[in-house]
Structure 1
């Protein structure tokens, strides 16, 4: 396995710049996830690392070697795409071993590598089946197995779970997490789903309009977002944000003069009697999810704030309530959207 480093990497399509000077160091064996909204450049950046997109400026180092101008085949990377792209007329064993066969690897060595990959991915009972006889999750495991047999320097995943239904996505998240633990491999994974990012990554790279907005562990990004974009992108439901100068907002201490935006996460708000909290509002919508209930409260100038409450709150739409903010759990941002520490 190898480390991967990006140095001032840029991508231009004519006059349009889509990757805007990315610097990033990924350690050997690290699981890093690129996340961000559609069009932020995450898949383009991954394809540049793979060599499928030309790097306009900057350097890409793989294992300390400058691979910027190298073709994909010489980079030693394995890429797993959103589409399984399995050969329908081949068995699972043949699909997994196809690249080795094409490279002239001896049959005994090829079979040994396929058997080991099948053991890791729990595909041993399926080796003689065709893709049409497999579920979506099994097909994606075969696609991953096809990459494992090549013994790559790193794995690149481009939204590999987006074609699966909700239950299979959860199952495959577990499989990929276990795979990383087993192989201790360098992995870069692209997704627009921040739940996948939070549950799988050692570190998350949040991209916004071709730039790195923030890099950190899932906990760091959730608890200490560096800017307004990360604060509202990471977390579900997203952080409540409203103007710091909102009328009716009562706080224990005055806010810094540069504070323009006030943020608090739904789980750090407690429902109370009107007049007993930091702000009052009227219950707009109740979303009952079993263990949790999301209460959307219309707080006038502050807008609609989401409160995460456990079980039944006893409130009904149209009722007035107060909101108590947990001390030490508020976030402040300046006029540029940067966090105030």
Structure 2
């Protein structure tokens, strides 16, 4: 287990710069998640840490060692890919121990490490099966087990759950959280799914066009976004953003006003901060999302209400914003408070 530090790292493909001077320190035992839209550079940055992509400029330190020029095999890192990449003709036991066997490890040591990894991952009953006899979640656990047996300095995950269906993703999120608690290892994880990020990470790194937009705990990013990009990327449904002038906050540098869907109450018309008309009602069981068209140039907004909320399309309503829950942003999108 070791810390990982990036110092002004850049990545160029010819004349195109895709990573633009990233500085980041991942502490020992920390679970860090990179999120961002497609093309923001999150997978490229992970591959640079792994040594699968050359670092054009800057330094990558693993522990106290400068690993910038080291090949992947020398960095002591284990990478788990989106694709399981298991050998179909081998048993789970042989798949998990293959790297150790190739490195010439003694058979008894390989067996002990495989058994221990299988215990942690609840794969003990599947060691003699082949990959075709496993579910998608079990195959992904085998891929993770193949990394665990190597005792890596850190684990790197590149969208490991994206091939699974929704139910399996929920199950594997739980298992990854328990795995991190059990191993206490440094983990860096890439995903486009903000739910994975919010539920798994100690800290989240939000990337935008090759730069870090903000780093913080899930709570910090949700409650105190540094800019408009983070405010709307983190949270589902995303934060409502309307002209600050629509709610009487347009003075000074404020250009936009943001508020989360759960921080808007529906009240009778004329008794809130804005009036609106219900456009669409989305019933989801415990919650109902009410999509409205607000007056005063505010436009479309999404509100979260109780699942049994009796709203209907065409209904005139008032919108009351929870005190102290609004966010103001300047013309460049920077948070003002």
Band of TM-score, shorter chain = over 0.9
Within 2, Cα distance between the matches of 1:230 and 1:98? Answer: 42
Post-superposition Cα deviations, 1:32-85, rounded to whole Å, max 9, x if no partner, equal 000000000000000000000000000000011000000000000000000000
Q: For residues 1-341 of structure 1, what are the structure 2 equivalents within 5 Å?
A: 1-246=1-246, 249=247, 256-300=251-295, 301-341=297-337
Post-superposition Cα deviations, 1:133-171, rounded to whole Å, max 9, x if no partner, equal 000000000000000000000000000000000000000
Give the structure-1-normalised TM-score.
0.98
Question: How many angstroms does 1:255 deviate by?
Answer: 5.2
**SS in structure 2 at match of 1:174:** helix
Which runs of no fewer than 5 residues in structure 1 stay unpaired? none
Question: How many angstroms does 1:312 deviate by?
Answer: 2.1
Post-superposition Cα deviations, 1:74-99, rounded to whole Å, max 9, x if no partner, equal 00000000000000000000000000
Within 2, Cα distance between the matches of 1:122 and 1:43? Answer: 29
Question: How many angstroms does 1:198 deviate by?
Answer: 0.1
**SS in structure 2 at match of 1:83:** coil
Within 1, Cα distance between the matches of 2:252 and 2:187? Answer: 43
**SS in structure 2 at match of 1:145:** helix
Question: How many angstroms does 1:245 deviate by?
Answer: 1.4
Within 1, Cα distance between the matches of 2:102 and 2:161? Answer: 28
**SS in structure 2 at match of 1:89:** coil
Within 2, Cα distance between the matches of 1:16 and 1:49? Answer: 19
Which runs of no fewer than 5 residues in structure 2 stay unpaired? none
Give the structure-2-normalised TM-score.
0.99
Question: How many angstroms does 1:256 deviate by?
Answer: 4.5
Within 1, Cα distance between the matches of 2:98 and 2:76? Answer: 16
Within 2, Cα distance between the matches of 1:293 and 1:264? Answer: 17
**SS in structure 2 at match of 1:286:** strand
Within 2, Cα distance between the matches of 1:313 and 1:74? Answer: 58
Within 1, Cα distance between the matches of 2:116 and 2:250? Answer: 59
Within 2, Cα distance between the matches of 1:87 and 1:140? Answer: 13
Give the count of matched residue pairs.
336
Within 2, Cα distance between the matches of 1:112 and 1:196? Answer: 32
Within 2, Cα distance between the matches of 1:133 and 1:38? Answer: 33
| Contact 2:243–2:250 (Cα < 8 Å) also in 1 | no
Within 2, Cα distance between the matches of 1:112 and 1:105? Answer: 11
**SS in structure 2 at match of 1:305:** strand
Following TM superposition, the consecutive aligned residue runs of length 4 or more in structure 1 with deviations greater than 4 angstroms are none
Which segment drifts farther, 218-227 or 305-314?
305-314
